[in-house]
Structure 1
Amino acid sequence: MDLPEFFEERGIDVFSAVGAEDLPVEDQNLVKNFFPGARSVIVFGKEVPVDVYRRTAKEKTRGMLAIAESLDATAKLLAERLNEENIPAKAVPLYLPVGISHGRVHGLVRLKHVAAAGGLGSIGMNTVLVSPRFGPRLLLSGVVTGKPVAEFPDIGAIPGDVAGGTAGAPVGNGPAMAPGGGSPTDTTGSVKCTMCGKCAKICPERAIGPDGVDTFRCRTISAVIPPLHVPAVKWMLGRRMLLSAMAPLAPWIARTATIRCSRCITECPVFAGAEANTSGEEPW
C-alpha cells in the first residue's frame, strides 16, 4: 500500500517508520513482547491545535479525545490493510492495556520513544514528545509490523510532511534531536526541549522531577485515583489478565474523565511550535 497517500487521506500530520532493531533495548523488548516477530513500527501523529488549550476543561478534553480516537481508528485501519496484504501488523491500543516499570506507567509500546528514534522530535523533561513543527502538541498512534523498514519502498524518500507540505516528516531511522542545552530553536528553525525546567516548576502537584513524571501525582490522574488507592492500582497494572478484563471499560472511563491540568504543556517555551511561530501566530 502507498503509506504517504494513506496518511494524507486520513489527515495525519507527520509519520515515520522505525526498525525494531534500531530502538533502544528496552523498547525493542516492549515491542517484541507486544507483537512477537516485530520488525518495524510505523508511528504517526496529529497536531492538537493551540485553540484547543484555550477551551474549558471539558471542551479541551473532548477536543483531545476526538483527535486521539481519530488516530486510533487510523491505526486499526492501517493494521487491517497491512494484514490484507499479508504483512503481519498490530495496532498499538489507545487505552488499556498498559505496562508499569520502576513505578512508572507506560504504554505497551512507548510511542514517544519510537517517534524520537524515528526523528519526529525529542523527549522533553515532562516526558512529552517535542515536535519540530508543533512543539509538545502532537498526539501519537502506531502500528507494529512484521515487515522490515527497508521493504517499505514507498516511504524511503519522502522529502516533506504527508500533510501540510512544509518542514519534513522524517522517514526511516532518522536520529532524534538531542535534548538539553542551547536555544529552543535550533539552526534549522526546529523547536526542541532545552530542559529549562519550567514545566517542573509550574506543575501544581510537583509531579515532574529529575527521574521523569510521577503519573499518579499529576492533577488529572490524582483526581481519579486518590493517593490511598495508588498501591492497589499499581498492583493491578502489573497483572496482564486483569488489564485485559478492564480494557473494554477503558474507552468509557476516558470519555467521562476530564483533563484538569495541562500547564506543563501550555507553559512550555516552545508550546506554539515552529509552525505557529513562522505563520505569525501569537504564542500561547
Structure 2
Amino acid sequence: MDLNAYFHDEGIEIFAEVEVPTLTEKDQAYVRDFFPPAQSVIVFGREVPASAYHSTPREQTEVMLGIAETLNDTAIRLAELLRSDGIPAEHIPLYLPVRIEEGRVRGVVRLKHVAAAGGLGTIGMNTLLLHPVHGPRLLLSGVVMGKGLPAESPIHPSEISIESPSPLCIHCGRCIKACPAGAISPDGVEVFRCRTISPWVPGPFVPIAKWLIGRQMLLRCMAPIAPFIAKTATIRCSRCVTECPVFEV
C-alpha cells in the first residue's frame, strides 16, 4: 500500500510515521496499552482556518467537528486498508478516547506528543501542538500499526517547509493570562475548568465525571451517544489558541 498516494488522494499534506521506540517511555506505554502489538503510529492532521475562530461559536464548532469527523473517517479507512494488506492496525477513535491520570484528563494516545516526535511541530504552554505553518490550529487523527511500513515504500514527511520559522513556544504566558477560567497552568490544563467543558460538567459533578472516565467499560457504553453530545455542544472559548503569538504563522 502506498500511503503517500493515500494521503494525497485524501487531500492531507500533514502526516508522519513515528516508530514507537522513538517516543518517550510514557507515550510508548500509552500507545501499547491502546494497541499491544504497536510498533509505529501514523499521525496526520488538517488545519482549522483562522477565519473559523472569528465566526460565531456555533459556526466554529461546526467547522471543527466537520474537520475532526473527516479525519476520523480517513483513519478508519486507513486502518481497514492496512489490515487488508496484512498489517495489524487500529484507528484512534474520535469520541471519548480519554483517561484520567493524576487527576487530569488525557487522551488514550497523546497524538500531539506523537506528532511532535514525528517532527510536525512542538508542544506549547497551552498544551497544543504548534505547527510550523498552521500554528496551534491543527486537528489530528492517527492509526496505530503492529509493524512498520516496508522499507521499499516509506512514508514521506508531509509537505512542511523546513525553512519556515520554527514555532517553538516562547513561554510568553499569553495563553495562561488569556484563559478566563484559569484552566491553563505551567503544569497543564484542568479540562473541567475550561469554559467549553464546564457548562456540561458543573463543579460539584467533576468528581463523578472523573470516576466515570476511570471506568473504561462505562465509557464504551457511553460512546454511542458521544457524537450526539459533540454535535449539540458549542465551543465557547478558544482564547488559548487565538492569543498564541503563532496563531497565524
TM-score, shorter chain, exceeding 0.5: yes
Q: Which amino acid aligns with 2:126?
A: N
Aligned residue in 1 for 2:143: 143
Aligned residue in 1 for 2:56: 56
Aligned residue in 1 for 2:153: 154
CA contact (8 A) 1:97 1:240 kept: no
Aligned residue in 2 for 1:244: 220
Aligned residue in 2 for 1:167: 161
Alignment deviations for residues 240-281 of structure 1 (CA, whole Å, 9 cap, x no partner): 1101111111111111100000011011111002xxxxxxxx
What are the ranges of 5 or more consecutive residues in structure 1 without an aligned counterpart? 169-186, 274-284
Alignment deviations for residues 91-146 of structure 1 (CA, whole Å, 9 cap, x no partner): 00001131110111111111001001111001110100000110000000000001
Q: Give TM-score, length-normalised by structure 2.
A: 0.96
Structure-1 separation of matches of 2:122 and 2:55: 27
Aligned residue in 2 for 1:281: none
Aligned residue in 2 for 1:131: 131
Structure-1 separation of matches of 2:153 and 2:172: 39
Structure-1 separation of matches of 2:218 and 2:157: 44
User: Cα distance 1:153–1:194, how it changes in 2: closer, same or farther (>3 A)?
Assistant: farther
User: Cα distance 1:211–1:240, how it changes in 2: closer, same or farther (>3 A)?
Assistant: same
User: Cα distance 1:115–1:159, how it changes in 2: closer, same or farther (>3 A)?
Assistant: closer
Residue 159 of structure 1 deviates from its aligned partner by 6.2
User: Cα distance 1:106–1:67, how it changes in 2: closer, same or farther (>3 A)?
Assistant: same
Aligned residue in 1 for 2:27: 27
Does 1:66 find its partner at 2:72? no
Structure-2 separation of matches of 1:213 and 1:81: 36
Aligned residue in 2 for 1:6: 6
Q: Which amino acid aligns with 2:138?
A: L
Aligned residue in 1 for 2:180: 204
Q: Which amino acid aligns with 2:232?
A: T
Alignment deviations for residues 155-198 of structure 1 (CA, whole Å, 9 cap, x no partner): 35x3651xxxx615xxxxxxxxxxxxxxxxxx852322111100
Secondary structure of the residue aligned to 2:81 is helix
Name the count of aligned residue pairs.
Answer: 249
Report the aligned-residue RMSD: 1.4
Alignment deviations for residues 203-222 of structure 1 (CA, whole Å, 9 cap, x no partner): 00010112111011000000
Structure-2 separation of matches of 1:160 and 1:33: 27
**Deviation >6 Å, runs of 4+:** none
Q: Give TM-score, length-normalised by structure 1.
A: 0.85
Aligned residue in 2 for 1:181: none
User: Cα distance 1:146–1:56, how it changes in 2: closer, same or farther (>3 A)?
Assistant: same
Within-5 A mapping of 1:77-92: 77-92=77-92
Structure-1 separation of matches of 2:137 and 2:166: 14
Structure-2 separation of matches of 1:70 and 1:25: 30
Structure-1 separation of matches of 2:171 and 2:151: 35
Residue 11 of structure 1 deviates from its aligned partner by 1.6
Secondary structure of the residue aligned to 2:44 is strand
Identity over the aligned pairs, expressed in percent?
57
Q: Which amino acid aligns with 2:224?
A: P
Secondary structure of the residue aligned to 2:211 is helix
What are the ranges of 5 or more consecutive residues in structure 2 without an aligned counterpart? none
Residue 152 of structure 1 deviates from its aligned partner by 5.1
Aligned residue in 1 for 2:232: 256
CA contact (8 A) 2:99 2:106 kept: yes
User: Cα distance 1:153–1:47, how it changes in 2: closer, same or farther (>3 A)?
Assistant: farther
User: Cα distance 1:159–1:90, how it changes in 2: closer, same or farther (>3 A)?
Assistant: closer
CA contact (8 A) 1:43 1:142 kept: yes
